[in-house]
């Protein structure tokens, strides 16, 4: 089955890191299509904002200059991917002029029905840098339904740490990972559950899983009292991932679950952490759980948010 990834490009070293990450994991995957997108910010100057409602307007000299540079960055990105094994016919690219970069990426993702959005971010910084104004932070905040792959720095390992919980969002994240890695020849996944010493999250009811996976599958594979370790593994196996490449790590309890996930990923040489996203409460709080905290502390690692 064809898989499609939308990759945000801006010509920076951060987007280059995301391209290298993509090539390392999927350079030999002929079922993966890539759409490169460079959003040129109109910045509110003149009438360039009108491209949001009328993309066929004649561009201002300033926007045309930036669009020319954007096309150059896209060509460099395409060449980089081709050098690393991707077929040219599997790569598309587009320049878009818009008043808001994040909104344009979200709109493109929704209209294109991509399986995920990949973006490189500018490394570890103050909390404000992550959640006030950065494109990656804004996407996390405002795009809860789009699977996001956020790459921080240089990722050297193609192993995955899948955070498991007895929740539908966690199993949805496993479903996403299973689909993306379907019949991947080398993928290795560590299943890990980390719980807070301040109290175990109450498991979801079995019925909450029926709509997505069906009662028959749930009756056979759901192991609610075991954090769904077996159910997560079964989704991966159902998608062609060999059992010997799936490892269950011992569950642990810690004060800071997000820091523990990062520590376990480093200890077991995992370059990507996959986390199920819980529903957000309308933006009332800036830090909304393990996924956001893990992103805020991540260095030289990729974090996938799905579910």
Contact yes or no for 295/147 (Cβ under 8 A):
no
SS3 content of the chain, % helix, strand, coil (to 5): 45, 20, 35
**Radius of gyration of the chain from its Cα atoms, rounded to whole angstroms:** 20
CATH number where 29 lies: 3.40.50.620
Q: Are 196 and 144 part of one and the same domain?
A: no
Over residues 129-165, the pLDDT tens digits come to 433 347 777 888 777 788 999 999 999 999 999 999 9
Using pLDDT thresholds of 50, 70 and 90, give the confidence band for residue 43: low
Q: Are 164 and 134 part of one and the same domain?
A: no
Q: Are 280 and 254 part of one and the same domain?
A: yes
Using pLDDT thresholds of 50, 70 and 90, give the confidence band for residue 48: very low
The mean of the pLDDT values for the chain is: 85
pLDDT at residue number 62: 64
Contact yes or no for 261/164 (Cβ under 8 A):
no
Q: Using N-to-C axis directions, what is the helix angle for 290-297 and 135-142, rounded to 10°? A: 170
Please say which residue of 102, 118, 152 terminates a domain.
Answer: 152
Q: Are 37 and 134 part of one and the same domain?
A: yes
Number of structural domains the chain divides into:
2
What burial letters (b/e) apply to 5-29, b meaning 16+ CB within 10 Å?
Answer: bbbbbbeeebbbbbbbbbbebbeeb
The boundaries of the domain holding residue 28 are 3-152
Q: Are 56 and 146 part of one and the same domain?
A: yes
């Amino acid at each position: 089955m064809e898989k499609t990834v939308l990759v945000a490009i801006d010509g920076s070293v951060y987007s280059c890191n995301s391209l290298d990450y993509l090539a390392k994991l999927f350079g030999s995957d002929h079922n993966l299509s890539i759409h490169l997108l460079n959003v040129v910010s109109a910045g509110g100057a003149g009438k360039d904002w009108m491209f949001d409602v009328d993309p066929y307007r004649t561009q201002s000299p300033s926007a045309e200059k930036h669009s020319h540079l954007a096309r150059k960055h896209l060509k460099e990105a395409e060449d980089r991917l081709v050098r690393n094994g991707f077929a040219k016919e599997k790569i598309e690219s587009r320049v878009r002029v818009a008043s808001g970069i994040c909104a344009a990426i979200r709109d493109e993702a929704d209209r294109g029905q991509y399986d995920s959005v990949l973006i490189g971010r500018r490394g570890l910084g103050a909390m404000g840098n992550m959640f006030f104004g950065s494109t990656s932070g804004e996407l996390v905040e405002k795009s809860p339904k789009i699977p996001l792959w956020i790459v921080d720095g240089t990722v050297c390992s193609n192993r995955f740490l899948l955070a498991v919980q007895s929740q539908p969002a966690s199993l949805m994240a496993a479903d996403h990972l299973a689909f993306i890695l379907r019949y991947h020849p080398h993928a290795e996944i560590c299943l890990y559950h980390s719980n807070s010493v301040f109290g175990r999250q109450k498991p979801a009811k079995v019925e909450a899983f029926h709509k997505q996976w069906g009662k028959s599958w749930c009756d056979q594979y759901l192991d609610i009292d075991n954090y769904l370790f077996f159910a997560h593994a079964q989704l991966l196996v159902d998608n062609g991932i060999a059992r010997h490449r799936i490892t269950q790590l011992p569950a642990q309890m810690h004060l800071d679950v997000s820091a523990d996930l990062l520590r376990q990923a480093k200890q077991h040489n995992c370059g990507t952490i996959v986390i199920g996203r819980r529903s957000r409460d309308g933006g009332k709080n800036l830090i909304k759980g393990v996924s956001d905290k893990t992103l805020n502390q991540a260095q030289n690692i990729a974090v996938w948010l799905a579910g």
